[in-house]
Amino acid sequence: MILNCRTNLINSGKMEKIDLKGMDRAEMQEYAQSLGLQSFRGRQIFRWIYQEGVLDFSGMSDIGKPIREKLSEAAYISELACDKKLVSSDGSTKFLFRLSDGNHIESVLIPEAQRVTLCVSCQVGCPAGCLFCATGRMGFKRNLKAGEIVDQFLRVQRESKRRISNIVFMGMGEPMLNLDNVLKACRILNDDYGPSLSQKKITISTVGILKGLKRFVSNPGKLGLAISLHAADDELRQRLIPPAKSTSLVDIMDEAKRYTKKAGRRASFEYLLLGGVNDSIADAKKLVKLIEGIPCKINLIRYNPVEGLPFKKPDEEKVIKFRDYLYPRVYAAMIRESRGIDIQGACGQLAGQQKD
Ligand code: SF4
């Protein structure tokens, strides 16, 4: 376990400090024991880091000074650096975070009347390369570690006046291609001694990478699942989403059905309306047929043009007609309002401009 943790070389390479951020509770307890401490000390440290957001062992007031000093010699608690913060006229805020290796990622805080949602990233760039996506255009640099995912929550929560109630993995990256770290981050976020966010309030979004999706659906707990469809036939989907070439919609629908049974929840389908590409009534008919019999809701999203990409916003009239065709033929269909358009709200727009 410890060998997998991020380390920091000090004292001319003679001793390495261990980064505690990213350890789950079991690992933290194991780590405490490795220092000759009782296991419950690990739980205390876990709570200070993930519930209180403490970054310095001296702030852990229920742990005695000799133990705190021992911890300071052996370990540290990392934190993302915030390089930019853009506040939209609609109240949403985009954060540009710098990782310890100089790479950048984005998180977006979206306050609404009933909830405060944080959209987090799980990779630097994305290997999926969807044609309409600013992140996809960046290429792929690396997976985020669990600690870097959880830290997006901790950093933003510190600045938010309201408590973050929901987390969606809809920022940079494809969660099913970094599933171990995504699930570990969810475990930490859900822990009663940590942020204690209900699994029902955390949603994993995917374009349907089958291997990861099957694994996730085998044991989803109560985590939410949002599948990005964006097209209701394989031919168009494969043109928009390169990984769709190796996954058919039939297979994805099978997994969606299995998810609803395993999790006891409805699946969500995201459908990005691209002007003149997938927004006709013929497309809506195909969509209704595709999801027939699956307890689900469909979120329609208007595409916001990204500079340099060959897609345009759909006509408003077509958006309404599309929604009205879907509902009541499907369980639920709603138009999700795009947020943060004036602050480059689409994922990857800001990070893609950074020179690392
Ligand atoms: S839409 Fe999602 S999966 Fe596709 S390239 Fe963008 S971040 Fe990756």
Which atom of ligand 1 lies closest to the CA of 172? 7
pLDDT tens per residue across span 101-114: 999 999 999 999 99
- Scan for tokens 């006509």, then name that residue: 315
pLDDT tens per residue across span 162-189: 999 999 999 999 999 999 999 999 999 9
pLDDT range class, residue 342, cuts 50, 70, 90: confident
pLDDT range class, residue 4, cuts 50, 70, 90: very low
Provide the edge-to-edge strand list for the sheet that holds 224-228. Answer: 81-87, 93-98, 104-111, 116-119, 166-169, 202-206, 224-228, 267-273, 296-302, 333-336
CATH code 3.20.20.70 region(s) in the chain: 81-353
Percentage, residues of the chain above pLDDT 70 = 92
CATH code 1.10.150.530 region(s) in the chain: 2-76
Distance (Å) from CA 174 to ligand 1 centroid: 6
In CATH, the number for domain 81-353 is 3.20.20.70
Nearest CA owner, ligand 1 atom 5: 136
299: β partners: 270, 334
Secondary structure element (H or E) that encloses residue 267, with its range: strand 267-273
Percentage, residues of the chain above pLDDT 90 = 87
Mean pLDDT of 316-327: 98
In CATH, the number for domain 2-76 is 1.10.150.530
DSSP assignment of 107-126, as one string?
EEEEE-SS-EEEE---EEE-
Ligand 1 binding pocket, CB closer than 6 Å: 126, 128-130, 133, 135-136, 172-174, 207, 347
Nearest CA owner, ligand 1 atom 3: 174
| Strands 267-273 and 296-302, sheet pairing | parallel
Residue to mutate (ligand 1; options 121, 123, 142, 174; most atoms within 8 A of CB): 174
- Scan for tokens 């995917």, then name that residue: 206
Residues 6+ apart with CB under 8 A from 273: 279, 300, 301, 302, 303, 314, 318, 319, 322
- Scan for tokens 């951020």, then name that residue: 21
Mark residue 101 as left, alpha or beta (left: phi above 0; alpha: psi -120 to 50; beta: remaining): alpha
In the prediction, which pLDDT does 353 show?
67
